[in-house]
Amino acid sequence: MSIISNILERYKLEQTDEEVLKQMEGEEKTNGEIIAEIIGKTVEEEIPFQELVGLLKKNLNISSKEAENLAKDLRKEVLLLVEKSPKEVPFLEKPEPEKTEERDVYREPIE
């Protein structure tokens, strides 16, 4: 089970298949997608950590206390892990630029 699935279960934010399908048809984001997006933006520093509680409360329609606890759990389970090793979190991996061997046109190959 993923970290986000565990968090959804712990905070009773899980959704039935019917709810998910209904949201997808209406082009709305599921609770898991909302959390993943907020985590991603926080890690990429588009959202300061201080705004995390407010965003969780607003986007997930939860109480301030639940949002505070959820933010703490996200920080403990995800954000601190990312600070230690961003390569272990797939959506944060940045592709390495391709290395191309450039040929020096002014040199002749050695035979």
The answer to whether residue 108 sits within a structural domain is no
Q: How far is CA 54 from the centre of its chain?
A: 17
**49 φ/ψ angles, rounded to the nearest 5 degrees:** -55, -30
Q: What is the mean pLDDT of residues 24-38?
A: 87
CA distance 71 to 38: 10
Answering whether pTM is above 0.75, one says: no
Residue 106 in any domain: the answer is no
Question: What's the chain's average pLDDT?
Answer: 79
Measured CA to CA, the distance from residue 32 to residue 37 in angstroms comes to 9
Asked if residue 8 lies in contact with residue 31, where contact means CB atoms within 8 angstroms, the answer is yes
Q: Please check whether residue 56 lies inside any domain of the structure.
A: yes
Domain assignment present for residue 76? The answer is yes
Report yes or no: 79 and 42 within 8 Å, Cβ to Cβ.
yes
Question: Domain range holding 45?
Answer: 3-84
CA distance linking residue 13 with residue 5, whole number of Å: 9
SS3 65: helix
pLDDT of residue 40: 84
Q: Based on the structure, what is the number of domains in the chain?
A: 1
Give the range among 32-36, 51-55, 66-70, 84-88 with minimum mean pLDDT.
Answer: 84-88
73 within domain boundaries: yes
Residue 96 lies in a domain: no
